[in-house]
């Protein structure tokens, strides 16, 4: 589900409102709230003040630790552990970029991760329709029971994006997805650990060579990664073969050449046979040193 169930939603509100109240009182921020329920049904001025409290909290995350240590509202151990996780919150400006089935993708201005964020009481798509994306917002995203949520309120900017910015955001999203995948948790180990370098190189090479536009823009980057080691070069050769295989397959079909298995090394056809076994034998004879670098397809 791409938003919290009722039980988890009430639990989130319980902790969140108490943390806001603690922050307001500790930092003397001036919002006239004396109990957690005072954060319900605020007017525009009150909501603006809550945003100031939120911004102060997540630029002074030591307040989260103080809240947990003092436990002024006598929360349970499990509730305190959920609150403690908010030390890993990411705050600031985000581009609400794309609605997916399981979450909405947020791109943060301050890093190169794509975050999969779910709604609180409804899917974010019900609140911000697809046609309104991308939308620049200011908010904080928080870990909560193995998912990422936002802290109830976000401020949106009335900015219309042109094609150049949209293409740039799409490139950022695609690069992040290739390098890290979509980040759907903010566990401490996930926030600091990088992917295995070999796996990351492979994903980036495949991204750089996945279509004509990327090849034109990132050919140099792909080649630099390919030269690092044999595994990267093999990935490079196969990815290029896969790219050129699309046009070759289309050409062969247009000429009614079907029922064959084709092997390619980069943009070169190096073998054609009727069965995979015959193809393997042929390639071992013709290009024995490149057998593991070939991309094969059936037409």
Q: What is the mean pLDDT of residues 235-259?
A: 93
Residue of higher predicted confidence among 153 and 259: 259
What integer is the mean pLDDT of 188-192? Answer: 48
For residue 245, give Cα distances in angstroms to 212, 251, 285, 289, 294: 13, 10, 21, 20, 11
Place of tokens 């401020």: 155
Q: Within 13 Å of residue 291, how many CA atoms lie on the same side as its CB?
A: 10
Lowest-confidence pick of 2-11, 30-39, 139-148, 280-289: 30-39
Report percent pLDDT > 90 for the chain: 68
Q: Report the predicted TM-score, pTM, of the whole model to 2 decimal places.
A: 0.75
Residue 96: half-sphere exposure toward Cβ, Cα within 13 Å: 29
Q: For position 19, what pLDDT does the model report? A: 95
Altogether, the residues listed in the chain come to a count of 299
Cα–Cα separations (whole angstroms), residue 81 to 109, 152, 158 = 28, 20, 37
CA distance 50 to 167: 34
**How does the average pLDDT of the chain come out, rounded?**
90
Q: What is the pLDDT of residues 11-43, one digit of tens each?
A: 999 999 999 999 999 988 877 778 888 888 777
């Amino acid at each position: 589900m791409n938003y919290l169930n009722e039980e988890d939603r009430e639990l989130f509100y319980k902790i969140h409102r108490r943390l806001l109240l603690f922050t307001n009182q500790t930092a003397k921020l001036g919002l006239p709230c004396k109990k957690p329920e005072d954060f319900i049904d605020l007017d525009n001025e009150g909501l603006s003040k809550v945003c100031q409290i939120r911004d102060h909290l997540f630029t002074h995350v030591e307040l989260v630790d103080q809240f947990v240590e003092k436990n002024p509202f006598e929360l349970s151990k499990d509730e305190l552990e959920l609150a403690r996780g908010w030390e890993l919150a990411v705050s600031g400006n985000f581009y609400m970029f794309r609605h997916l089935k399981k979450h909405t993708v947020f791109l943060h201005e301050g890093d190169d991760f794509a975050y999969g964020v779910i709604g609180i009481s409804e899917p974010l798509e019900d609140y911000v329709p697809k046609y309104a994306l991308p939308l620049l917002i200011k908010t904080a995203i928080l870990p909560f029971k193995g998912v990422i949520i936002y802290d109830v309120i976000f401020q949106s900017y009335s900015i219309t994006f042109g094609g150049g910015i949209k293409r740039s955001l799409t490139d950022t999203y695609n690069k992040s997805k290739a390098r890290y995948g979509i980040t759907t948790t903010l566990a401490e180990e996930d926030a600091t650990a990088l992917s295995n370098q070999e796996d990351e190189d492979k994903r980036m090479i495949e991204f750089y060579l996945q279509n004509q536009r990327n090849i034109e823009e990132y050919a140099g980057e792909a080649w630099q990664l390919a030269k690092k080691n044999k595994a990267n070069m093999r990935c490079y050769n196969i990815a290029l073969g896969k790219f050129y295989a699309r046009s070759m397959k289309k050409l062969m079909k247009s000429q009614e050449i079907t029922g064959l298995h084709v092997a390619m090394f980069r943009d070169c056809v190096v073998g054609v046979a009727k069965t995979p076994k015959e193809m393997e034998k042929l390639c071992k004879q013709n290009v024995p040193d490149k057998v593991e670098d070939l991309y094969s397809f059936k037409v």
